[in-house]
Amino acid sequence: MSTTKIAFIGAGSVVFTQGLLADIFAFPELRDVHVALHDIDPERLATAEGAARVLARERGAAPTVTAHAERRPALEGADFVINIVQVGMGEATRTDFEVPARHGLRQTIGDTLGIGGVFRALRTFPLLKGLGEDIAAVCPDAWLLNYTNPMAMNVQYLTRATGLTRVVGLCHSVYWTMRGLADLVGVEYEDVTYRAAGVNHQAWVLRFERDGTDLYPLLDAAVERDPGLRRRVRVDMYRRLGYYPTETSEHSSEYVPWYLHHDSEVERLRLPVGAYLGIVDDNVAEYERTRDALAAGRPLSVEATMEYAPQIIHSITTGTPRTVYGNVPNHGLIENLPADGTVEVPCLVDGAGVAPTRAGALPPQCAALNRTYLSMNDLVVRAAVEDDPRAVRQAAMVDPATAAALPVERIWELCDDMVRAHGDRLQPSLRATLGS
């Protein structure tokens, strides 16, 4: 049997690469895999390669590790492709915050919806198109496991613009939400049965039980006891919608029109406007610590991440059945959401691959929010696929938080400013400024 090959695209995201490799090397069956690392930044690529070799040695693994400045050699013959690229890195992320802030628009994370999500997607799509073409050419049977945000837009673009079918978007929000809920109600996570469905960063906990008993009443009691919990967006949404959302309050505040535009809500719900810029700085500092530790010959402190990609790779290569949460084309999985949107549902994984499961209909109030989210995504993808710069502005008009904060003329002006700021990171047909 040939050695399993795993290609990391954007391996210079060293901290995340290390966590995934730690999980992979924890499986005895995967300790001799071929890890092919690709990044366009030579220093980061060298750091990722050094970290991979140290992690393997520390964990008793014996992989083949190769580093590639060019993408196709990394992909050649790959069985799995893990995409963790961030186009433009911290500089582009700062643009996503600073330009909208000058127009009076608040963001907390800016990577999923909103102006930040739109332009993160638009500067990522050209890379995804090239990646899809390369996979089709040199490893057409590979599974593409995408971590790059905005998750739902990227998966929809990949499946529409590249024709790839073995694409699954992966995010840890459902898993960590359920760990947190179990802690909150005082139940062991291993004893909890749950089911969630919706869209990435805005799925809903539809079932939350232990031994067949609903645990939502215990959550209600915890919220009633702790006034601090009621000062969190996701708890506020749960109390009003009846189902707990599967992403943090910081993320969740950006996907609805009710919070960030209002000073009183920002204060009541303790919303950290611009929080992601601090995370960007922390990620750079963590990368530098890893780089310096490798140079000094110090051991790396890397903990298991419990991410889904290593579990999927293990299940497909060994036939071990698992359930993970994946982002996939809807195609009837959630019957009251658009068929061509990207939804997040439980997926069964074994030697045959990744099989999404049908979730039926969401509660109508949850589906209503998800439909707005997916409508905005669809316009962004259409803008790129149909070379239509007006659809970029229309997506921003549909976006809930943007529409709540700005009149339409200012939205179009903001989009023009973002186009100018991101320049040649966008495909040529979308670089036009249209005025208000």
- Model pTM? 0.95
Q: Which amino acid is at 310?
A: P
Asked, for residue 89, whether it belongs to a domain, the answer is yes
Maximum CA extent, the chain? 62
436 pLDDT above the threshold of 70: no
Residue 303 domain-assigned? yes
Residue in the structure block whose two tokens are 């750091």? 47
Residue 238 lies in a domain: no
Q: Which two tokens stand for residue 107?
A: 């963001």
Output b/e per residue, 367-381; b: 16+ Cβ within 10 A: bebbbbbbebbbbbb
Question: How many structural domains is the chain composed of?
Answer: 1
DSSP state at residue 426: S
What is the model's pLDDT at position 356? 98
CB contact at 8 A, 143 and 153: no
Q: Name the catalytic one among 172, 201, 262, 422.
A: 172
CA atoms of 308 and 22, how far apart (whole Å): 13
Q: What is the 3-state secondary structure (H, E, C) of 313-367?
A: HHHHHHCCCEEEEEEEECCCCECCCCCCCEEEEEEEEECCEEEECCCECCCHHHH
pLDDT of 87: 92
The answer to the question of residue 350 being in a domain is no
Distances in Å between the alpha carbon of 314 and those of 13, 24, 38? 22, 8, 22
Per residue in 282-311, pLDDT tens?
Answer: 888 888 888 888 888 887 778 778 899 999
Decide if pLDDT at 379 tops 80.
yes
The answer to whether the beta carbons of residues 301 and 54 sit under 8 Å apart is: no
pLDDT band at 281 (very low <50, low <70, confident <90, very high): confident
pLDDT in the model for residue 285: 85
- State the pLDDT at residue 153: 98
Q: Does 275 fall in a domain? A: no
**Number of neighbouring beta carbons within 10 Å of residue 2:** 7
Residue 187 CA, chain-centre distance (Å), reads 28
- Which residues are CB-neighbours of 150 under 8 A, at least 6 positions away? 111, 112, 113, 117, 120, 121, 377
> Which CATH number covers residue 58?
3.40.50.720
pLDDT of residue 367: 98
For residue range 70-87, what is the model confidence (pLDDT) as tens digits? Answer: 999 999 999 999 999 999
Q: Which residues fall within 8 angstroms of residue 53, CB to CB, at 6 or more apart?
A: 65
What is the pLDDT, as a whole number, of residue 61? Answer: 95
* Domain contains 402: no
Q: What is the mean pLDDT of residues 151-160?
A: 97
Considering the domain boundaries, does residue 224 fall inside one? no
| Per-residue pLDDT, 282 | 85
pLDDT at 332 over 70: yes
pLDDT at 1 over 60: no
Residue among 244, 256, 239 at smallest CA distance from 196? 244
Please compute the mean of the pLDDT values over residues 145-165 and round it to a whole number.
Answer: 96
Residue 337 inside a domain? The answer is: no
Distance CA 392, CA 33 (A): 42
Whole-angstrom distance, CA of residue 186 vs CA of residue 219:
10
The question of whether 331 is a catalytic residue gets the answer no
| Domain limits for position 130 | 5-170+298-316
Reported as a pLDDT band with limits 50, 70 and 90, residue 46 is: very high
- Digit-coded pLDDT (tens) for 175-232: 999 999 999 999 999 999 999 999 999 999 999 999 999 999 999 999 999 999 999 9
Name the residue with higher pLDDT: 296 or 151.
151
CB atoms within 10 A of CB 347: 22
